[in-house]
Amino acid sequence: MQAFSFSTTNTILNEPGGAVRLGEICAGRGARSVLLVTDAGIVSAGLLEPVLPGFEHAGVRIGLFDRVEADPSDTTVLQAVATAREVSAELVVGFGGGSSMDVAKLVAVLAHPDCGQSLDRLYGVGNVRGPRLPLLQMPTTAGTGSEVTPISIVTTGEATKVGVVSPVLQPDIALLDAELTLGLPPRVTAATGVDAMVHAIEAYTSAIRKNPLSDMLAREALRLLARNIVTAVHRGDNIEARGNMLLGALLAGQAFANAPVAAVHALAYPLGGHFHIPHGLSNSLVLPQVLRFNGPACPELYAELAPIIMGEDFVPGSNVEVVENLITWIEGLIDVLGLPNRLRDCGVPEDSIERLAADAMQQQRLLVNNPRPVSEADAAAIYRAVF
Ligand SMILES: NC(=O)c1ccc[n+]([C@@H]2O[C@H](COP(=O)([O-])OP(=O)(O)OC[C@H]3O[C@@H](n4cnc5c(N)ncnc54)[C@H](O)[C@@H]3O)[C@@H](O)[C@H]2O)c1
Ligand SMILES: [Fe+2]
């Protein structure tokens, strides 16, 4: 067996209704003042209503930064850091989807009184020195798994999505409360759920750091996600399906935090950067064609996943047949979920394909994990096939 390493968030609390205990949990960690990082959509959906009285009861001061946007910018991170300093935050809570949780990670570093680094020094792999403030993440989408990953993605300049990857960003606590996801709109549920499935699929075929623990987590994540995504999208008030999706997304996050994602994400990021297509939808758009491209490189791995993903629809056959059936099944799923499957239907003009392909090549951090090397011409061909 090959040597491998595996890290994850120290404490995982799975408590339906647990939002009311957030203040108490922060107090238990010794915090007297907390910055809660979230977005305006979450506030207007009323998700903070069960949370705020808990802080008052626990005697913990709460500062609110609710201006995170989808695909958060470097400017937003710096504004949130300023708010954290204003309230002398001793702990940071990320409360929302990947966008809010990713901002919270960087705030925990940059708002620490002893931080000697600027944001632009953090970009890339392994550049964060720490220390940082304690960090608790509360996901309200079942998608990114950011509550258990050492990764934060920010948008710099006009359209470039940059990753900060460092063990220092690994959160201390993940608190899952499925009740927070009951009102997640169908389209967001679908896109974020496919994102989580992609995390597990790409972790399972990751070329470099795939290991027995990431494999186990990816398989169980896919079992939960594939069995529950349709119910979660079409019957959003089903708490059982919501809980399974939230846990599935967390397990997928643990998998890809240790066996990183690859070409689906590398080709998805330019779509988010240039056209503000939500992260999960960008992944969903390119997923089937990237799987077709990768299929010949590791048919046995996709064939291992096929019965887990397809459940009762799985039909045995040669690896090549099974992989093609799996891809067709995933295309059918994307359709059932109501997600568009063509770039042209998402505001992407055909003459942007060369630019998208060139930008995808910038994501070498991800492409090195792909089971098959991807050239710029390959990337352009994949975008063209999805156009
Ligand atoms: N850190 C990582 O490991 C990692 C991994 C994948 C993606 N990402 C990043 O995460 C971001 C995407 O995160 P996301 O897909 O979770 O979306 P998001 O955080 O951008 O949220 C999407 C929308 O859903 C709304 N919303 C969220 N929860 C809700 C709820 N429970 N009820 C009603 N509305 C709700 C929000 O208000 C927002 O408008 C991207 O920036 C992406 O690059 C990070
Ligand atoms: Fe993702």
DSSP string, 71-125: S-BHHHHHHHHHHHHHTT-SEEEEEESHHHHHHHHHHHHHTSTT----GGGT-EE
- Mean pLDDT (the chain, rounded): 97
Please state the domain count of the chain. 2
- Distance, CA of 234 to CA of 239 (rounded, Å): 13
The answer on 140 and 251 residing in a single domain is no
The answer to whether residue 131 is domain-embedded is yes
Among 240, 233, 169, smallest CA distance to 197 is for 233
Dihedral (Cα; 40, 43, 45, 48), 10-degree rounding: 160
Last residue of a domain, one of 127, 149, 180: 180
When mean pLDDT is compared across 21-30, 149-158, 180-189, 350-359, the lowest value belongs to 149-158
Give the 3-state secondary structure of residue 361.
coil
Which positions ≥6 away from 346 have C-beta within 8 Å? 271, 275, 277, 281, 285, 340
Residue 319 Cα distances to 296, 304, 316, 322, angstroms:
10, 9, 9, 5
What is the token pair recorded at 125? 């792999």
- Quick one: pLDDT at residue 76? 98
- Give the domain CATH number at 77: 3.40.50.1970
Ligand (nearest to CA of 181): 1
Q: Do 174 and 204 reside in the same domain of the chain? A: no
Domain assignment present for residue 6? The answer is: no
Show Cβ contacts of residue 186 under 8 Å, excluding neighbours closer than 6 positions.
Answer: 233, 234, 236, 338
User: How far does residue 102's CA lie from ligand 1's centre (Å)?
Assistant: 9
- Euclidean distance between CA atoms 365 and 118, whole angstroms: 22
Question: What pLDDT score does 133 carry?
Answer: 98
Bridge partners (DSSP) of residue 156 are: 160
pLDDT at 107: 98
Which pLDDT value is given to residue 354?
Answer: 97
pLDDT the model gives residue 299: 98
Q: Is residue 371 part of a domain?
A: yes
Instruction: Judge if 128 and 201 occupy the same domain.
Output: no
Cα(196) to ligand 2 centroid in Å equals 7
Q: Which residues contact 381 (CB under 8 A, 6 or more apart)?
A: none
Indicate if the pLDDT at residue 263 is higher than 80: yes
Q: Rounded to whole angstroms, how far apart are CA atoms 195 and 155?
A: 18
Tell whether 249 and 351 lie within a shared domain: yes
Alpha-carbon distance of 359 to 379, in angstroms, equals: 10
The whole domain housing 269 covers 184-386
* 200 Cα: distance to centroid of ligand 2 (angstroms): 10
Summarised one tens digit per residue, pLDDT across range 272-296 is: 989 999 999 999 999 999 999 999 9
pLDDT score for 161: 81
Specify whether 235 is located in the same domain as 118. Answer: no
Would you call 52 exposed, middle or buried from its count of C-beta atoms within 10 A (0-12, 13-18, 19+)? middle
Atom of ligand 1 nearest to the CA of 70: 20
In a domain, 3, yes or no: no
Contacts of 352 (CB under 8 A, 6+ apart): 274, 275
Q: Is the pLDDT of residue 159 over 80?
A: no
Domain assignment present for residue 87? The answer is: yes
In single-letter form, the type of residue at position 220 comes to E
Where does ligand 1 bind, in terms of residues with CB under 6 Å?
39, 41-42, 45, 47, 70-71, 96-100, 102, 140-141, 143-146, 149, 151-153, 180-181, 183-184, 188, 192, 195, 279-280
Mean predicted confidence (pLDDT) in 358-373: 96
Where is the domain boundary, 180, 195, 213? Answer: 180
pLDDT value at residue 342: 98
Q: Which H helix or E strand runs over 234?
A: helix 212-234
Note the ligand closest to the C-alpha atom of 144: 1
In terms of domains, do 161 and 210 share one?
A: no
**Residues paired with residue 174 on neighbouring β-strands, in sequence order:** 12, 137
Does residue 18 sit in the same domain as residue 47? yes
Gyration radius of the chain's alpha carbons: 20
Burial of 47 (0-12, 13-18, 19+ CB in 10 A): buried
Beta strand 33-37 with 91-96 is parallel
Tell me which ligand sits closest to the C-alpha of residue 256: 1
Pick from 99, 101, 277 the residue to mutate for probing ligand 1's pocket: most ligand atoms within 8 Å of its CB: 99
For the chain, the helix, strand and coil percentages under 3-state DSSP, each to the nearest 5 = 55, 10, 30
Model confidence at 333: pLDDT above 80: yes
Which of 116, 151, 180 is the endpoint of a domain?
A: 180
Q: Percent of the chain beyond pLDDT 70?
A: 100
**Token digits for 267?**
């080709």
- Confirm if 169 and 107 have CB atoms less than 8 A apart: no
Q: How far is the CA of 381 from the centre of ligand 1 (A)?
A: 29
Q: Within this chain, do residues 200 and 153 fall inside the same structural domain, yes or no?
A: no
159 and 121: one domain? Answer: yes
Over residues 187-201, mean pLDDT: 98
Minimum-distance ligand 1 atom for the alpha carbon of 154: 41
Same domain, 161 and 227: no
**pLDDT band at 116, cuts 50/70/90?**
very high
Q: Tokens at residue 244, please?
A: 């399974």
The Cα–Cα gap between 226 and 251 comes to 13
Together in a domain, 77 and 217? no
Q: Is residue 4 part of a domain?
A: no
Q: Look at residue 2 and tell me if it is in a domain.
A: no
Tokens of 223: 């079992």
The yes-or-no verdict on residue 158 having pLDDT over 80 is no
Count of beta carbons in the 10 Å neighbourhood of residue 162: 19
Digit-coded pLDDT (tens) for 207-234 = 999 999 999 999 999 999 999 999 999 9
What CA–CA distance (Å, rounded) separates 331 from 284?
A: 9
- Same domain? For 99 and 222 the reply is no
pLDDT at 287: 98
pLDDT tens-digit readout, 303-331: 999 999 999 999 999 999 999 999 999 99
Residue 3, number of CB atoms within 10 A of its CB: 5
Inside any domain, residue 5: no
In this structure, what token pair is assigned to residue 351? Answer: 């003459």
Compute how many other C-beta atoms are within 10 angstroms of the C-beta atom of residue 67: 15
